[in-house]
Amino acid sequence: MIGICCSAPAQNSMQWIPYGPGGGDARSFAQDPSDHNHVYLGTAVGTVYESRDGGMKWARLAQIENRDDLALDNIAVDRSDPKHLVVGAWVLGQTDGGVYISHDGGRAFTTNAAMKGHSVRALTVAPSDPKILVAGALDGIYRSEDGGETWNRISPVENKEIHEVESIAIDPTDPKTIYAGTWHLPWKTVDGGANWTPMTKGIIDDSDVFSIIVDPTNAQNVYLSACSGIYRSTDKGANFTKVKGIPSTARRTRVLMEDPKQPNVVFAGTTEGIWRTVDSGQTFARNGDPAWIVNDIAVDPSDSNHVLLATDRHGILLSNDGGKSFTQSNDGFSARQVTAMLTDETHPQRLYVGVLNDKTAGGVFVSDDGGQHWKQKSEGLKGADVLSLSQTSNGTVLAGTAHGLYRMEGEVWKPSGMVSPLQPEPVPDRQVKRGKRMITIKARQPRPKPAVETTARVDSMSVSGSSVFATLPDGVIVSQDDGRHWNHIRTAAGMPLRSVAATGDRVLAGGGDKLLFSVDKGVTFRTIPLPSGLAETWATVVDDSGRCWIGGRGGLFYSEDDGATWKIHKNLYLTSVSGLYFDRTGGRVLVTPGNADTKVYAVNTGAMTVTKWDAGWFVKQVRPVGDRLAGATTYEGVVLQPKAANGDTTVAEKQ
C-alpha cells in the first residue's frame, strides 16, 4: 500500500536558483533503461537529482519528505516503465528510513507504508522481472513482486545472523536466487527466502559485506567486497577466493561494478580511490586520486568509455576513457554545507563562502560573478572547517575555522597572527608604616603571558572601522592590525560566545544565555539580560541607528535603548532565528528564521518596514550580492535570488 504524497517538484516560478559551489557528498546512481544519457543521482540529504546528458549537467528533482537526513543509497528504475522509480533510504545513527516511490520520473515521491521506518541499506531489481525487488534493511530482507507496492519479509525473524543487511544481488535468470551481504557474512537463498545458507568458504570471518554483483552473462561468477578485501567465486558462491592487488589500506570497498559490455572489466570503489581490473579480478590497478571515497559507480551500457563515480566531498567524477582518468562533473549539483558567507566590500559581485565536512575538497570558495562560477581557495587551511568569514578595512579577508584564525595573503591562507591571553592584573604597591614614617614597598609584578597561535574555534567575526572582533570559546578577542595580532578583552572573557556584531562604537556579543554589550568599541563590556522568551542566542546585529538585534531559539528581538528593554517587531513574529546580517548599503537587517522555514526577511532600519521572500529552500543566512540576495542552504550550497523577485512589503511597524 502507498502512503500520502511526501515530496513536491523542486522548481517554482520564484524559487531561488541554486549556484553551487559544486561538489559534496554524492551517494548513488541509477540509469534510465530507455535512455542511456538519463541518469538519476541520490544524495545523503534526501534529494534526488537527474542528468539528461550523461552526467555533464545536473538538475534537482525532489526533496523526499522534505527531510534532510535521508541517505539515498539505492535508486531502482522500472525497465517496463522508466518513470517508475523506487528509492531505498536510511538515516545515520537511527533505525529510521524506508522505501519511496515515484510515478513521474522522480518529481514527486510517496512513502510506502509497509516499509516506513525500516532502515533500507540495499535495494535491487531482479534482472529477469522488473516487478520483483528485494530490499536489505537493518532488521532483515524484504521482497516485493509488484514493483514495490507491497512487501513481505523473506528472512526468518528468529535468525540472529540475517540482519544489518548492507548488500543484495539477484541471479540474472532466476529471481528466487538471492545473495545478501550483512555486517557479519554473506548469505544465499535459492527458493526465494524460504531457506538461507551462509557463504563462508574462503571468506575471512566477521567480514562486513558492502557490495555483491553477479556476472549477467555467466551467473557462476559472483564478486563481493568486504572490509577484509574483495572476493570472487566461480561456482555461484559455494567457494570464494580473495582477489589480490588492492592494498590493505584500501580494503573498505564500498561498491563493485561490472562493465556490461566487457564482463572482464570490473571497477572497485574504495575509501582510497577507484580500482579497475581488466582480467576478471586477477589483478587490480588504481586510477585517480587515493583521497577519493567512492560510494557508487555507473558504467554507460552503450559506451564503456563513459564512467561516473559518486564520491564523498568531491561530488561526481566523470571519465571518457573507460575509467583511466576522471574530472569533476558537478554542474548543477551541490551538497555543500555552507556555514560562512562574505560579500567583498570593494567588489559587490564577489562572494566568499566557507563549508563544513569537506576537508581538502572544501574550505573556502570564491565567486567573482555573483555565484555563477566558483574557484576553490583553500591552500593553507589544511582541511579545516570554515565557520566565519570577515573582511578588514583594508580589504584583507579573514577566516575563522574550527582550528583557529587565518588571513588570506595572495592566494594562500596563513595563520592569523598571535593571540595574547588575558594578562594578570597588576599588583599594587604597598604602604607600610616604619616607626613614624610610611614607606612604599614596590610589588613584584606578574610576568606577562606570551602571545600564542590559537587553535580554538572561531564562530563569528565582525568589523567596525579598524577593529576586528572575533569570538572564541572563552570570550571575545580584538585586532587593530588587520588580523595580524589579537588581544583578549578582559570584560568579555570566560564566556562561550558564538556571535559578535559591531557597528560604530557599539559591540554586541552573545551565545547561549549570555549577552554582552559595549558602547566604547569593546574597551569595556557589561552583561545585559536576555529578553523574556529568548531561550538561546544564535545571532546578533547592531544597525546604523545603534539599534541592537538578537535572534535565536525563541524568536527575534530588538532594543533601542542599549539592551535595557526589548521589543518584538509587530509585523515579524518568529519562533526561531538562525541568522542576522546588517546590510549597510541597503540600510536593512536581513533575517533568516530557523525551524526549516523557507522564508527570508529584510527590515528597513529607517521606516522599520518588512520585506519578505519565499526562497523555496531552507536558508540559514543571506548576504547581498549586487542587487540580489544569496542564501546559504542547509546542505545544498548557495541559492541566488531571481532578478524579478521583489518580495512582499508590509506596512511600517506601529510604534
- Cβ-Cβ contacts under 8 Å for 241 (sequence gap 6 or more): 202, 231, 232, 233
Domain layout of the chain by residue ranges: 1-10+24-153
pLDDT value for 50:
98
pLDDT tens-digit map of 332-344: 999 999 999 999 9
pLDDT value for 654:
43
**Angle at the Cα of 277 (from 276 to 281), degrees rounded to 5?**
130
Q: Enter the C-alpha cell of residue 530.
A: 536576555
pLDDT value for 279:
87
3-state secondary structure 568-589: CCCCCCCCEEEEEEEECCCCEE
Superfamily of 1-10+24-153 according to CATH:
YVTN repeat-like/Quinoprotein amine dehydrogenase (2.130.10.10)
Residue whose grid cell is 562574505:
342
Residue whose grid cell is 608604616:
433
On whether the CB atoms of residues 218 and 173 are closer than 8 A, the answer is no
pLDDT value for 5:
40
Q: Given CA atoms 112, 116, 120, 126 in this order, what sign does their dihedral have?
A: negative
pTM of the entire predicted model: 0.89
pLDDT value for 438:
82
DSSP secondary structure of 487-556: EEEEEEESS---EEEEETTEEEEEEBTEEEEESSTTSS-EE-PPPTT--EEEEEEE-TTS-EEEEEETEE
Cα-trace Rg, the chain = 29
Q: Give which of 101, 121, 105 is closest to 4, Cα–Cα.
A: 101
On whether the CB atoms of residues 28 and 41 are closer than 8 A, the answer is yes
On whether the CB atoms of residues 307 and 269 are closer than 8 A, the answer is no
Coil, helix or strand for 603?
Answer: strand
**Angle at the Cα of 390 (from 388 to 392), degrees rounded to 5?**
155
Q: Give which of 489, 467, 500, 484 is closest to 418, Cα–Cα.
A: 484
DSSP secondary structure of 439-506: EEEPP-PPPPPPPB---S----EEEETTEEEEEETTEEEEESSTTSEEEEEEEEESS---EEEEETTE
DSSP secondary structure of 140-203: EEEEESSTTSS-EE-S-TT-SSS-SEEEEEE-SS-TT-EEEEESS-EEEESSTTSS-EE--TTS
What b/e readout covers 96-120, taking b as 16+ CB neighbours within 10 angstroms?
Answer: bbbbbbbbebbbbbbbbebbeebbb
Can you list the residues of the chain whose pLDDT is less than 70?
A: 1-13, 247-251, 423, 644-647, 649-655
